Structure 1
Amino acid sequence: MLRIKKKNQQGDDNLFFPRWKRQIQYAWQNVFNDFRQHAIASLLTIIVIAISITLPTIGYLLWKNANQAAHQWYPTPNLTVYIAKNLNAKDTDALITQIKQFPQVETLTYLSRDETIQEFKSWSGFSEALDLLDENPLPAVAIVIPKTEAKHSEILHAMQAAIIKLKGVDDVRLDDSWFTRLTTFTDMVRTIVMTISVFMIIAVALVIGNSIRLAIFSRRQTIIVMQLIGATDGFILRPFLYSGMFNGFISAILALILSEIFIFQIDSIILNVSSVFGTIFNLEGLNWDESFFIILISTMIGWSSALMATKMYLNTPHITQ
């Protein structure tokens, strides 16, 4: 009866999932044992990787907050349509309806000639001088606010050219000078961040690959013995792959902490600068989705760089000599 139980237990242990579970446990034990044995070198590697991840993360945060500040401090770009003075009320209503039918228009605000001169008096300070005039010199205007997807210089200029061709329109002014400069600046920052990110990804992959290569050389005698007793390549590779994933994961967590420290340190400086502009602006850090994405990418980079390094150096002849 005892023999039957032992045979059943041995049969259960040889099933796929129990065997796979034991291999996973063995691989992670190797990772943690190697980390404890080379704690200082492992910590230095993780710090270097974390700094490499932190630099593009901070660049992304600056670009993200710059966009939010631009939307908070600057008005929406709009087109001001100057309507001909000799246009009667019926033709003016028809013109306004025609402009509203443009697919890029979100809202339209119409100001009659009387409303425009009252508005001009309220902020210009020349109300007494304007009262001396026999005739109102200002035309009626229509302020066009474009839709979000139409807030691009090319689309706005195309809409300006189309509206100015309408009968009864004297001129169309596009208030996008600041918008063009801001778009150019944010595009430049985005390009810089993307370039730095590419270089930092390469640096992270090289650092992890080099640490895995050193681990392979330090354990090459063990690898030779494992190959001689019939260990599969997957069994030999797994601890090194998990080590790369572990380094990438821990480095990403540390990079997120460093990024939050950076935001905390400069938040007071940004508050002082924003108060000069008469507004309050608080820096925003990474949300949960962005943090998870950084951790996932770092872990994948660690796994892929460890795989390439392990395959490369295990296949070289001097490893088995």
Structure 2
Amino acid sequence: MASSFEKYNKRRLISSYFSVILSIFLVLFLLGGLGLFVINSKKLTNDFKEKIQMTVFFKNDAKERDLKAFDLELKNSEYIKKYLYINKDSAVKNNVDIFGEDFLEYVGQNPIKNSFDINLKGDYVQADSIKKIETQIKKNELVSEIIYDKILVDLVNDNVRKISLWLLIVSIILSFVAMLLINSSLRLSIYSHRFTIKTMQMVGATKSFIRKPFILRSIKLGLIGSALAVIALLILVCYIDSKLPDLGILKDYLSIGVVMAGVFIVGIIITSISTYFATQRFLNLKTEDLY
């Protein structure tokens, strides 16, 4: 009978530890994932912004040397992410399926102009910055026109501001919920030891002596949960990097290191603080209140 009771207690203890580790893992994984998203949010928004294209068309009287001079100007510009020169003759050949093979015979001359497709760096994809760049480029008298999606630029920037605000709110709420979940799991785990705590207190053990093994055990559980969360986050990072290699998330060792270290630190801090207050609650209870 005693053996069966011991086995039952052992299973219950293992189940309690498992639930604590699972809670810590899930919460820290969510917090770590959110941390990675916050750190890389600028990269994500810049990656989208940098896909918005500005096309600069040149007049037909622009000579080859003029186009080369503009090419050199773009190469030395700090706001350029990448650019591509599109020769008007090449443009016709590349769009035969649209214009038709006999297109030039009907119109007499090539109406397409030499152009540059420009992708700006994310920080410069702002309404005021693009306006300044547009004004600067238009100083070149050989530039015919500049085309880009102004509505899309404004829409992207407005959405980025809204997302950043909601991201801050979600981060605060999730952090608060994380502390509550881990705290509840640890309190339930310590609740099963309330009689042991009270017995140790009655035989003269100090509060710090009683708390110490519970805090150490919680820290161990926190480290296990943190380690599982870190492994899951690394898998997530590898998956995202395979889908979005241009972001270079996997190569950003500093950001990844900060998030992973933060997961371990948060896991240790929350578990130790929660255990301290949970044991303190039972230490302050009267014996009759334990039932």
Q: TM-score, normalised by structure 2?
A: 0.62
Instruction: Tell me: CA distance 1:294–1:158, structure 2 relative to 1, closer, same or farther (3 Å).
Output: farther
Tell me the equivalent position of 2:183: 206
| Counterpart secondary structure, 2:146 | strand
Structure 1 residues 220-277: Cα deviation after superposition (integer angstroms, max 9, x where no partner): 4334246x46x4x5433311211221232233455567789999xxx9xxxxxxxxxx
Which residue does 2:4 correspond to in 1?
none
Amino acid at match of 1:167: N
Given that residues 56 and 196 in structure 1 are in contact (C-alpha distance below 8 angstroms), is that contact kept between their aligned partners in structure 2? no
Whether the 8 Å contact between 1:163 and 1:172 is mirrored in structure 2 is: no
Is 2:59 the partner of 1:84? yes
Number of aligned residue pairs:
268
Q: Of the candidates 81, 93, 114, which is equivalent to residue 118 of structure 1?
A: 93
Alignment of 1:191-270 (within 5 A): 191=167, 194=171, 197-211=174-188, 214=191, 217-225=194-202, 228=204, 231=206, 233-253=207-227
- Is the Cα–Cα contact under 8 Å of residues 55 and 117 in structure 2 kept in the other structure? yes
More off after superposition, 96-105 vs 249-258: 249-258
Note the C-alpha offset of 1:303: 1.7
- Unpaired runs of at least 5, structure 1: 1-33, 268-279
Distance between the aligned counterparts of 1:98 and 1:318, measured in 2?
81
Give, as a single letter, the amino acid of the residue that structure 1 aligns with 2:114.
Answer: A
- AA paired with 2:196? R
Deviation at 1:200, TM superposition (A): 4.2
Answering whether residue 268 of structure 2 is matched by residue 299 of structure 1, we say yes
Relative to 1, partners in 2 of residues 1:150 and 1:37: Cα closer, same or farther, differing over 3 Å?
closer
**Residue 217 to residue 155, structure 1, CA distance change in 2 (3 Å):** farther
Structure 1 CA distance for aligned equivalents of residues 78 and 233 of structure 2: 42
Pairing 1:165–2:138 present: yes
Residues 197-227 of structure 1: per-residue CA shift (max 9 Å, x gap): 425422333224523652563334334246x
Q: How far, CA to CA, are the matches of 1:68 and 1:212 in structure 2?
A: 41
Q: Do the aligned residues in 2 keep the contact of 1:80 with 1:144 (CA within 8 Å)? A: yes
Aligned-pair CA distance for 1:103: 1.3
Which residue of 2 is the match for residue 43 of structure 1? 18
Shift of 1:81: 1.0
- Give the RMSD, CA atoms, in angstroms: 5.3
1:143 aligns with 2:117: yes
- 2:29·2:230 contact (CA, 8 Å) conserved in 1? yes
What SS class does the counterpart of residue 147 from structure 2 fall into? Answer: strand
**Corresponding residue for residue 128 of structure 1:** 102
Contact 1:47 1:251 in 2 (8 A): yes
Aligned equivalents of 2:53 and 2:60: distance in 1? 22
Quick check: 1:56–1:200 contact (8 Å CA) kept in 2? no
Q: Percent identity?
A: 16
Which of the two has higher C-alpha Rg?
A: 1
Structure 2 Cα separation of the partners of residues 307 and 152 of structure 1: 50
Structure 2 residues not aligned, in runs of 5+: 1-8
The equivalent residue for 1:104 is: 79
| Greater relative CO, 1 or 2 (CA 8 Å, sep 6+) | 2
The answer to whether the Cα contact below 8 Å between 1:35 and 1:42 also exists between their aligned partners in 2 is: no
State the 1:102 CA deviation. Answer: 2.6
Whether the aligned pair in 2 keeps the contact of 1:83 and 1:139 (CA below 8 Å) is yes
Distance 2:23 2:64 in 1: 71
Taking the aligned partners of 1:103 and 1:72, their CA distance within structure 2 comes to 17
User: Measured at CA, do residues 68 and 166 of structure 1 come closer, stay the same or move farther in structure 2, by a change above 3 Å?
Assistant: closer
Instruction: Tell me the SS of whatever aligns to 1:109.
Output: strand
Q: For 1:118 and 1:244, locate their aligned partners in 2 and report how far apart those are by CA, in whole Å.
A: 70
Cα distance change on mapping 1:100 and 1:258 into 2, 3 Å: closer
Kept in 2, the 8 Å contact 1:106–1:146? The answer is yes
When the two structures are superposed, what TM-score results if normalisation uses the length of structure 1?
0.57
Instruction: Go from structure 1 to structure 2 and tell me whether the alpha carbon gap of 1:307 and 1:163 turns closer, same or farther (over 3 Å shift).
Output: farther
Q: Partner amino acid for 1:131?
A: E
Q: Work out whether 1:309 is the aligned partner of 2:278.
A: yes
